[in-house]
């Protein structure tokens, strides 16, 4: 009899706690903590800028804001969510690094953004949606990685270029006009269109000539052969080419 009454009391207590705003907030934040931790563990394992604690804090923070906003009705909730999403954008921008033309951290920033969405679902009480979203975020960061690595290796196997390229030449100042005229003639005979030319100082006695070329559907081997011919010119000190990275 006492055991039955004890169970009945505990069931009523747990039901009353979950029914209260405080108990519901605890459940929302607890789930946000667990799901944010799952996302963060994968990021921490890969030694990303935003690791375990950052992802947990983002998820918890979003859940707290949304949980608070639910007390102000639907309109207040929507408004708070939109503001917090904008704020997460600034946080994500802080983990994006640019180094010598290479951009790092975009995936980490996107993961933070997704983690914030998970936190918002938890704060609003959409537990199933939060769990499903977490599964998909983890899948994007793990299951898609082999496919991404495969695609990243494909440019080396492609037979042609489908984008603009930058051709860089370094020559002495006194040979600048001669070299530029020669290169223009060579590119003209190869039907390669020059879209832009930029000349900058390269030390005290040299200049760098950068030509932006429209190399659409031109074989890489063809471009490499062209670069080899350019290298034979005694007035050209350096020459190399690569994809155009400007917008």
Specify the pLDDT at position 204. 82
Structural domains of the chain, ranges and CATH numbers in brackets: 2-152 (no CATH), 160-243 (3.30.70.260)
Cβ(63)–Cβ(120) under 8 Å?
yes
Specify the pLDDT at position 135. 93
d(C-alpha 122, C-alpha 134), whole Å: 11
Specify the pLDDT at position 247. 47
Residue ranges of the chain with pLDDT lower than 70? 1-19, 96-104, 149, 151-163, 215-217, 244-247
Cβ(116)–Cβ(59) under 8 Å?
yes
Specify the pLDDT at position 157. 44
Specify the pLDDT at position 151. 66
d(C-alpha 9, C-alpha 2), whole Å: 10
Specify the pLDDT at position 7. 46
DSSP 20: S
Write out pLDDT tens, residues 29-82: 999 999 999 998 988 887 777 788 888 988 998 888 888 888 878 787 888 888
The CB-based long-range contact list for 172-180 (8 Å cut-off, 24+ gap) reads 172/205, 172/206, 172/207, 172/235, 172/237, 173/205, 173/206, 173/207, 175/235, 176/207, 176/209, 178/235, 179/209, 179/233, 179/235, 179/236, 180/209
Specify the pLDDT at position 166. 84
> Using only C-alpha atoms, what is the Rg of the chain?
29
Among the listed residues 57, 18, 19, the one whose alpha carbon sits nearest the alpha carbon of residue 37: 57
d(C-alpha 55, C-alpha 44), whole Å: 9
Its pTM stands at: 0.53
Specify the pLDDT at position 31. 92
């Amino acid at each position: 009899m006492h055991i039955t009454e004890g169970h009945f009391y505990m069931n009523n207590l747990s039901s009353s706690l979950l029914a209260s705003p405080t108990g519901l907030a605890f459940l929302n934040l607890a789930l946000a903590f667990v799901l944010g931790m799952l996302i963060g563990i994968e990021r921490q394992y890969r030694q990303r800028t935003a690791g375990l604690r950052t992802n947990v804090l983002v998820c918890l923070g979003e859940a707290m804001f949304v949980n608070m906003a639910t007390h102000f009705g639907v309109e207040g909730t929507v408004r708070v969510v939109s503001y917090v999403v904008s704020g997460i954008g600034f946080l994500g921008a802080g983990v994006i690094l640019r180094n010598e033309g290479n951009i790092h951290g975009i995936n980490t920033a996107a993961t933070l953004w997704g983690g914030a969405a998970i936190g918002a679902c938890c704060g609003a009480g959409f537990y199933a949606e939060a769990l499903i979203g977490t599964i998909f975020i983890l899948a994007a960061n793990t299951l898609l990685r082999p496919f991404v690595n495969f695609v990243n290796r494909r440019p080396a196997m492609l037979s042609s270029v489908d984008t603009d390229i930058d051709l860089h030449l370094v020559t002495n100042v006194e040979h600048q006009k001669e070299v530029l005229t020669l290169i223009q003639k060579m590119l003209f005979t190869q039907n390669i269109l020059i879209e832009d030319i930029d000349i900058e100082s390269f030390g005290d006695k040299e200049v760098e000539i950068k030509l932006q070329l429209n190399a659409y559907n031109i074989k890489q081997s063809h471009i490499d052969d062209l670069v080899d011919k350019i290298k034979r010119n005694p007035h050209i000190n350096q020459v190399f080419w690569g994809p155009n990275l400007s917008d």
